[in-house]
Amino acid sequence: MDNLFPGKRKLYEGKAKVVFPGDNPGEVYMVFKDTATALNGLKKGTIEDKGRLNAEISDILFRLLEKRGVRTHYLSKVNETTLRVKELRILPVEVVVRNVVAGSLAKRSGREEGTPLPRPILELYFKCDELGDPVWNDEHVLAFGAMSEEELTEVKEMAHKVNGILREFFGERGLELIDLKLEFGRAMTYGSAGEEVLGPIVLGDEISPDTCRFWDKDTQEKLDKDRFRRDLGAVREAYVEVLRRISN
């Protein structure tokens, strides 16, 4: 991994990606890994070719969203596992939009997994591994200063727009978008003296079977990381199938 960008130090390494400095101010390289984690890091493993598949899927989806008027951190694809993206000051709240009851929502609500929701549910999670990324409401976000009221309103509007665009896009390809996790941040630029200048809020991170749930609309087969979480097998094949459908 270090040899991909000789002479560059890692800025960050997470569960699924490594970030290196870019060649221009305000840009970084985001390298996707084959490693996989679930259950708040308690389950770990490797999914063959996951880095390449998620990079390609994210590349397609970010370009789609940009064309549909959503600001993202995407700039270009560098190689089969790397995207060139804008450097962000990440907002410390993850946004999950749910269209169908699944995963933790099924456990918390007592509803059967697979139950369609009459309207999308938007949930907020404080980004903190030590606390297990707890669920927050608007009042938590504002009281603890994670976002301003204006930022929160903008993030929620953007999340619903992304969900609407992707739900339609996947539906046309025989996939049901069950839910998706989104991260947002402020694009960073630098002034003449090298000082940080924060730009507008944009969509960051990735959009892939790692961060979304996809089910086949006809068979309800799971085509996402739940296959890894639940030991369902054929994990790589599920990611390959998602890429195949959205490439057409």
pLDDT for 1 beyond 80: no
Q: How many CB atoms lie within 10 A of CB 222?
A: 20
User: Does the structure show a pLDDT above 70 at 31?
Assistant: yes
221 vs 216: CA distance, rounded Å: 5
Burial (Cβ within 10 Å: 0-12, 13-18, ≥19) of residue 177:
buried
Task: Give the three-state DSSP class for 137.
Answer: coil
Q: How confident is the model at residue 105 (pLDDT cuts 50, 70, 90)?
A: very high
Continuous H helices in the chain: 50-67, 104-109, 138-143, 149-171, 226-229, 235-247
Handedness of CA 73, 134, 102, 41 (dihedral sign): positive
The rounded percent of the chain whose pLDDT value lies above 90 is 85
Do residues 94 and 133 make contact, with C-beta atoms less than 8 angstroms apart?
A: yes
Average pLDDT over residues 8-17: 90
Looking up tokens 């630098």 gives: 190
Higher pLDDT, 169 or 197: 169
Whether residue 196 is predicted with pLDDT greater than 90 in this model: the reply is no
In the chain, what percentage of residues exceed pLDDT 70? 98
Instruction: Classify residue 145 as exposed, middle or buried by CB count within 10 Å of its CB (0-12, 13-18, 19+).
Output: exposed
Q: How far does the chain reach from its first CA to its final CA, in angstroms?
A: 31
- Closest C-alpha to 58, from 71, 37, 77: 77
Q: What is the pLDDT of residue 8?
A: 81
pTM over 0.85: yes
Domains in the chain, please, with CATH?
A: 2-87 (3.30.200.20), 89-234 (3.30.470.20)
pLDDT in tens, 47-98: 999 999 999 999 999 999 999 999 999 999 999 999 999 999 999 999 999 9
CB 44 within 8 A of CB 36: yes
Mean pLDDT (the chain) is 94
Q: Angle at the Cα of 182 (from 139 to 140), degrees rounded to 5?
A: 10
- Contact of 137 with 121, CB cutoff 8 Å: no
Q: Name the phi and psi angles at 63, rounded to 5.
A: -65, -40
Output the pLDDT for position 3: 57
Higher pLDDT pick, 4 / 38: 38
Confidence at 226, pLDDT banded by 50, 70, 90: very high
Instruction: Identify the pLDDT of residue 38.
Output: 83
CB count, 10 Å around CB of 157?
10
The DSSP-derived string for 143-174 is HTTSS-HHHHHHHHHHHHHHHHHHHHHHHTTT
Tell me the average pLDDT across 144-173. 98
Please tell me the predicted confidence (pLDDT) of residue 6: 72
Looking at the predicted structure, is the pLDDT value of residue 148 above 80?
yes
